[in-house]
Amino acid sequence: MNFTWNHYYSVVKKVSSLAGQWPYQKPKTRLLCVSLVTLVTFSMIVPQMKVLIDQLFVEWDDLQTPEEFEIMKKYAEKGRRYSLGYSLYCFISVYLFMSVSLVPQLLDVVLPLNESRPILPAHPGYYFVDERKYFYYIFSHAIVAWEVAMTGIVAHDCMLLTYVEHVCSIFAISGFAQLIEDTFSLTLAIQITLNTVMISITLLQVTQENANYLIILRYIVYVVAQLIHLFCLSFEGQKLIDHSLQMRDTIYNCPWYKAPMKSQKMLLFVMRKSLQPIFLSAGKIYIFSLENFTT
């Protein structure tokens, strides 16, 4: 048996141990591995985010007229509202998703039976205690854990929303838009891949005939939440495309012939650049737009 384990599962054990995910590791070793993975990951992401934030501050400092400032402020306020609404939606959705576990407890009070209904765990797991006796402690732990995990996703997406709104306000500087695409392309590719896989698995579980109706309700809430998440990203991607095309139309319709010859030559380069809309993609494969979302 030991030979079989070492031969067939040794790779999984070693890789999981390096990532701090092997359940039989010593706690100190696991903590060290998780800390190293986290530090290495942040060492790659944080410098890129710093460049974006520094560029954002530079754009604000370069404003010349009150009209430009009002435009920037208008889009910044939109970004703040979108971020606030998106954050509330994500945190409330997690709570509603987990609260399905409280339905059997509530029914035992409102519509009691001769015996207690089976409990519905907040998530699969074994806590080495009586799950019915310590149900509310386990539920509270699950709520806190999932809300903390959701905080990282919300922070990533809210920062993306803010950057897209900023690009829409100063779209003449297309280099900043390309910097956002280069920074978020990989993380968005990971997100959309995981979302697609999880939605497919969830829908498969919903179609099972022997599935509990409460579990089906939880799965439906999860699928709807993921679709809304994808819609938010597609909506911001569509705004980026629309503003890039709007810049092209504005240049075409402006009295460019009244500008000096040097400025006319510069407009030619800008118009050539604006022929292709700037977009937000997931790994250069999937383009976030309302058209792709509906298909």
**194 against 68, higher pLDDT:** 194
What share of the chain has pLDDT > 90, as a percent? 1
Average pLDDT value for residue range 219-232: 84
Q: How far apart are CA 123 and CA 16, in angstroms?
A: 22
Exposure on the CB side of residue 179, measured as CA atoms within 13 A: 18
Q: How far apart are CA 57 and CA 52, in angstroms?
A: 9
What share of the chain has pLDDT > 70, as a percent? 82
Q: Which of 285, 85, 231, 83 is nearest to 166 (CA)?
A: 83
Neighbours of 218 (CB within 10 A): 23
Tokens encoding 73: 């402020």
Cα–Cα separations (whole angstroms), residue 281 to 181, 185, 285, 287, 289? 7, 6, 7, 4, 9
- Whether the CB-CB separation of 242 and 165 falls below 8 Å is answered with no
Determine the pLDDT at residue 50: 83
Average pLDDT value for residue range 99-124: 80
**132 against 67, higher pLDDT:** 132
Determine the pLDDT at residue 1: 46
Q: Give the rounded distance of the alpha carbon of 97 from its chain centre.
A: 17
Determine the pLDDT at residue 172: 44
Strands (E), the chain: 281-282, 286-287
Determine the pLDDT at residue 179: 61
pLDDT of 53 strictly over 80: yes
pLDDT digits (tens, 9 = 90+) for 157-212: 888 888 878 777 766 444 455 566 666 777 778 778 887 887 787 777 777 656 57
How high is the mean pLDDT of the chain? 78
Determine the pLDDT at residue 174: 45
Q: What is the pTM of this model?
A: 0.63
- Whether the CB-CB separation of 138 and 124 falls below 8 Å is answered with no
pLDDT digits (tens, 9 = 90+) for 16-33: 888 787 878 888 888 888
Backbone angles phi, psi at 244, to 5 degrees: -70, -40
Backbone angles phi, psi at 126, to 5 degrees: -125, 120
Q: pLDDT category, 237, cuts 50, 70, 90?
A: confident
- Each domain of the chain, given as residue ranges in start order, spans 66-294
Determine the pLDDT at residue 103: 84
